[in-house]
Amino acid sequence: MPSLQQIRAALDGSGQAHVLRFWSELSEEEKEAFLQELGQLDLQRLEEHCQAAAEAAGAAPASCSQNLDPNLEPVPPESMGSVRRSDPESLAGWEHEGFLQISRNRVAVLLLAGGQGTRLGVQYPKGMYDVGLPSGKTLYQIQAERILKIQKLAESRHGSKCTVPWYIMTSEFTLKPTQTFFQENSHFGLEPSNVIMFEQRMIPAVSFDGKVILERKGKIAMAPDGNGGLYQALVDNDLLEDMKRRGVEYVHVYCVDNILVKMADPVFVGFCVKKGADCGAKVVEKAHPAEPVGVVCRVGGVPQVVEYSEIRPETAHLRGAAGELVYSAGNICNHFFSRSFLQEVAKKFKDQLKPHVALKKVPFVDSCGNQVKPTKPNGIKMEKFVFDVFPFSRSFVVFEVLREEEFSPLKNADGAPADTPTTARNSLLAQHCRWATAAGAALLDEHGNIIQIPLSSSAENHPPVKCEISPLVSYFGEGLELILKGKTIKTPFILDEEAAKELQAR
């Protein structure tokens, strides 16, 4: 651990002497904690980090589209699969391959859960959030139960007990609460040794004039280095070695906030494996040309996610012969990686990932020591994105899924126009109602009237019906005919394992 004198000299040399301006006002305990924090910083590269952040934030927004548009092309058809467009035989073959790999303990899932729920308005990890389902289940519980179910399905198909390890990337903000939450809930039935939590790195927030921001008199304002910090975190925590020891060859990576995520999706995994892919992305069709989502495409022949703001409107509106959007592959942060590709990224490419600028409202202490909560962005956080490695792929594929079945993110508090607890809850309930109806059940409202639910309905175009199906009963709608066909069910209704046994006994 560097001494105070060494740290002071390094800060002076990098133009960050203000970091210690309140040193004399700190208690001995605060000094010790602050010294430990400063000792963990890469002080040699601090000046470089601050200058790069200020320069990036101060640069005039470049018209990237002028450079990108002539080089844009959609992902070639031979590299694409689709729930809608691929034939049933191909889909069944991919699913079989996926289950085979799962049954051989070759598939892991990796959750990106290092961010804070700031926009959601909570002070705890987003995975602990209860969106208001009849069961009261949190995102973490839903995801854990999907892992349990996919293991059982693979076992029943191939006759061998298997494990899907769950790697959870947290941050300084989310590690301890997540650990405690899982322990208090007995890891939701999962074997604790197969739930591996690890931290991503934290980096200082920087003011527009290139100065490290003090959150408190003895604390630097730190932020996770984005979900692209995954690749450094894999190295820091020896996780690639852990995967190798477990026999894991393929990793399904996703974000915590998608309530509809299919954990270790056998169709997606099987598609990627059959295609010999080292890297893959799930996408949904863009709702409209101006939808603010990144587009998975190619730039100069190289796979990439291009932000919606980087594509000219006329390019975004381009349509093919059948009237479909040419650039329709909306990124949903749901990816496949081979372990060998992750190892290659860790060895050769992780330091080539360029950080992206995020302007944030960062609470700070002013020069007089007063605590200030800004009302507009005052700081720069430099983030890397998980998809920044796409250009390094030698065999990149894309798999299109249905938005109403697989993508409903939780980002904002209720009252926002989209991606709220209400929209997430309604998406899941609408999906479960479709499953129940497709399985042959008649759902009744509180007055005993049959609820008519078109099988193509989604949360947006049909009022939610409180019919919730536990992942322990059905992973993705499978096996429900045996339980529900010909049954009349009054809602609200929760189909858990006990209810399923009762219905089958009728």
Same domain, 20 and 166: no
pLDDT, position 58 = 80
pLDDT, position 273 = 98
Contact, 376 vs 270, CB < 8 A?
Answer: no
Q: Is residue 151 part of a domain?
A: yes
pTM: 0.92
Same domain, 28 and 99: no
Same domain, 492 and 446: yes
Same domain, 235 and 104: yes
pLDDT, position 454 = 61
pLDDT average, residue stretch 62-88: 84
pLDDT of 240 over the 60 cut: yes
Please report where in the chains the tokens 């700031």 appear, as a residue. 118
Same domain, 335 and 450: no
pLDDT of 463 over the 70 cut: no
Q: Is residue 247 part of a domain?
A: yes
Same domain, 120 and 192: yes
Q: Is residue 273 part of a domain?
A: yes
CA distance readout (Å), 136 to 139, 468, 490: 10, 11, 19
Q: pLDDT per residue over 143-172, tens digit each?
A: 999 999 999 999 999 999 999 999 999 998
Chain-wide mean pLDDT for the chain? 93
* pLDDT higher at 62 or 188: 188
pLDDT of 116 over the 80 cut: no
CA distance readout (Å), 176 to 153, 170, 188, 229: 32, 9, 17, 19
Greatest mean pLDDT range, 187-196, 218-227, 410-419: 187-196
222 is written with which tokens?
Answer: 């730190």
pLDDT, position 135 = 97
Same domain, 32 and 131: no
Same domain, 23 and 166: no
Name 251's bridge partners: 108, 337
Same domain, 157 and 194: yes
Q: pLDDT per residue over 282-317, tens digit each?
A: 999 999 999 999 999 999 999 999 998 889 999 999
Residue type, 241: E
pLDDT, position 63 = 42
Q: Is residue 377 part of a domain?
A: no
pLDDT of 230 over the 90 cut: yes
The lowest-confidence range among 70-74, 140-144, 167-171 is: 70-74
CA distance readout (Å), 73 to 79, 109, 302, 322, 335: 13, 30, 9, 17, 20
Q: Is residue 462 part of a domain?
A: yes
pLDDT, position 455 = 55
Q: Is residue 344 part of a domain?
A: yes
pLDDT, position 43 = 83
Model confidence at 213, pLDDT cuts 50, 70, 90, reads very high
Same domain, 343 and 465: no
Q: pLDDT per residue over 396-409, tens digit each?
A: 999 999 999 999 99
Q: pLDDT per residue over 329-343, tens digit each?
A: 999 999 999 999 999
pLDDT of 65 over the 60 cut: no
pLDDT of 66 over the 70 cut: no
Number of domains comprising the chain:
3
Other residues' Cβ atoms within 10 Å of the Cβ of residue 414: 12
DSSP 275-326: TT-SEEEEEEE-SSTT-SS-EEEEETTEEEEE-GGGS-HHHHT-B-TTS-BS
Same domain, 333 and 475: no
CATH number of the domain bearing residue 475: 2.10.10.100
pLDDT of 275 over the 90 cut: yes
pLDDT, position 354 = 84
Find the helix or strand (DSSP H, E) in which 254 lies: strand 250-255
pLDDT, position 211 = 95
CA distance readout (Å), 332 to 171, 253, 339, 419: 21, 11, 21, 13
pLDDT of 462 over the 80 cut: no
Same domain, 334 and 395: yes
pLDDT average, residue stretch 109-126: 89
CATH number of the domain bearing residue 93: 3.90.550.10
pLDDT, position 446 = 83
Q: pLDDT per residue over 473-503, tens digit each?
A: 999 999 999 999 999 999 999 999 999 999 9
Torsions phi, psi for 252 (to 5 deg): -100, 115
Q: Is residue 34 part of a domain?
A: yes
pLDDT of 64 over the 60 cut: no
The residue segments making up the domain with residue 32 are 4-40
pLDDT, position 355 = 85
Model confidence at 443, pLDDT cuts 50, 70, 90, reads very high
Query: How large is the angle between the packed helices 46-58 and 4-13, nearest 10 degrees?
Result: 30
Q: Is residue 313 part of a domain?
A: no
